[in-house]
A and B are shown apart, each in its own frame.
Chain A
Amino acid sequence: MNKEFSIKEAAILLDISIQTLRRWDKSGRFIAQRKKIGKVSRYYYRENDIEDLLATNFPSLLKVAKKWALDSAPPELPRRFYCPDSSIFKARLSGFEYNLSQDPKLAKIFPLIVAVTGEIGNNSFDHNLGNWPDVPGIFFGYNLNQKEVILADRGQGFLKTLQRVRPSLSDYSEALKVAFTEFLSGRSPEKRGNGLKYVREVVLNYHFKLFLQSGDAFLNLSKRNKTIKINTAQNFIQGSYTLISY
């Protein structure tokens, strides 16, 4: 069933004002549906219209993902970008793989894009299964023209996950550094913890770019930015937020 968003709900989700939405409607940029209740005509938006807007407008998609990861009361995501469990993520990852494989310029590297996306997305599920603090699942969106992928979760974050195997870790900055440099698993005693080292290897060797934030710590990784340098963010993400450019 196609969910309906009121103009207020749409404004909150897209992180813009109601006035902007009305302006977009007037100019034809993003047209609202109208419903007559008695004598009053009300604006509303169909879920798939919002999804289509986000699929083509990358800045809006980024905004929605970041807001969902940051807010203490996150808005309900349109279903096209929300994977409540790993089976839905797997299906969408296969769709993403198919789309990438249609671009002859990506023939060589599309398996790496999918593998990196899969590692980060599956990590969210593996480390938070049964322990999601509030909303389970992940945000997964991409824009083929921009060559960017966004993944976000509202899980326990890198610090809490890694403290299970290294209780001495005291902040997110340290946790992020360990996650990208040491072979250590957050699901001890299972032998894990190689996914992010693989991600790092791919990013450095194949001209990808990676932004990842968990808690108040973030890193930017690229061929030009080889060293793992952790920075402090102004905002706080309880789980993780990742942007991959390829």
Chain B
Amino acid sequence: MIIELKKFGQTLTSREEGREAFAAFKPTLNIISDRESVEIVFTDVNTLSPSWADEFLTPLFKQFGKRLILKETDNLSVSTTLSTLEKVHQIKFVRN
């Protein structure tokens, strides 16, 4: 499954909205099979902050682990956010 974050907005900064985005998307996750990967695409997202990402990407990582694949991007707010979350939770996201 491919999740395009731009469908949640271009400015993804608050915890409240990150939590809301995850809650709204959760039913869609139920159709993912056991072997399927989940790809996150950051194209056309202007700003991503750790607060939003912690409410959306962290639970996805907990559920899918290495099957969660984050597509590479040159957006600095995305790359810095991902490395912050990796430090906070002592995890390593799969990037491609």
Report Cα–Cα, A173/B28, bound state, in Å.
Answer: 46
Of all chain B residues, the one with the shortest Cβ separation from A200 is B84
Report Cα–Cα, A211/B95, bound state, in Å.
Answer: 34
Of all chain A residues, the one with the shortest Cβ separation from B76 is A112
B47: A residues at CB distance < 8 A: 97, 111, 114-115, 118
B73 to chain A, nearest CB (A): 10
Report Cα–Cα, A113/B76, bound state, in Å.
Answer: 10
A47 to chain B, nearest CB (A): 27
- Looking at the complex, which one of B15, B16, B46, B89 makes contact with A114 (CB distance below 8 Å)? B46
Check B14–A198 contact: CB distance below 8 A.
no
Check A194–B50 contact: CB distance below 8 A.
yes
Q: Kindly supply a per-residue 1/0 record for chain A positions 123-166, scoring 1 wherever the CB is within 8 Å of any chain B CB and 0 otherwise.
A: 00110000000000000000000000000000000000000000
Check A194–B77 contact: CB distance below 8 A.
no
Check A119–B46 contact: CB distance below 8 A.
no
- Looking at the complex, which one of B46, B48, B54 makes contact with A194 (CB distance below 8 Å)? B54
Check B14–A90 contact: CB distance below 8 A.
yes
Interface residues in B61-77 by Cβ distance below 8 A to A read: 75-77
Check B13–A122 contact: CB distance below 8 A.
yes
Check B49–A115 contact: CB distance below 8 A.
yes
Q: Kindly supply a per-residue 1/0 record for chain A positions 164-198, scoring 1 wherever the CB is within 8 Å of any chain B CB and 0 otherwise.
A: 00000000000000000001000000011111011
B81 at the interface (CB under 8 A from A): yes
How many chain A residues sit at the interface, stated as a range, is 20 to 34
B87: A residues at CB distance < 8 A: 183, 194, 197
A226 to chain B, nearest CB (A): 17
A94 at the interface (CB under 8 A from B): yes
B37 at the interface (CB under 8 A from A): no
If over half of A's interface residues share one DSSP class (helix, strand or loop), that class is named, otherwise mixed; here it is helix
A245 at the interface (CB under 8 A from B): no
Check B50–A198 contact: CB distance below 8 A.
yes
Q: Kindly supply a per-residue 1/0 record for chain A positions 64-100, scoring 1 wherever the CB is within 8 Å of any chain B CB and 0 otherwise.
A: 0000000000000000000000100010011001000
Check B80–A198 contact: CB distance below 8 A.
yes
B43 at the interface (CB under 8 A from A): no
Decide yes or no: A115 and B13 within 8 Å by CB, A122-B51, A194-B50, A198-B50 being known contacts: yes
A24: B residues at CB distance < 8 A: none
Of all chain A residues, the one with the shortest Cβ separation from B54 is A194
Report Cα–Cα, A198/B85, bound state, in Å.
Answer: 9
Report Cα–Cα, A101/B81, bound state, in Å.
Answer: 19
Check A86–B13 contact: CB distance below 8 A.
no
A87 to chain B, nearest CB (A): 9
A110: B residues at CB distance < 8 A: 46
Check A118–B76 contact: CB distance below 8 A.
no
Of all chain A residues, the one with the shortest Cβ separation from B45 is A111
Q: Which 8 residue pairs are nearest across A and B when measured between Cβ atoms?
A: A118-B13, A111-B77, A114-B47, A115-B49, A115-B77, A111-B47, A194-B88, A198-B84
> B residues within 8 Å of A by Cβ?
10-11, 13-17, 46-51, 54, 58, 75-78, 80-81, 83-85, 87-89
> A residues within 8 Å of B by Cβ?
86, 90, 93-94, 97, 101, 108-112, 114-115, 118-119, 122, 125-126, 183, 191-195, 197-198, 201-202, 205-206
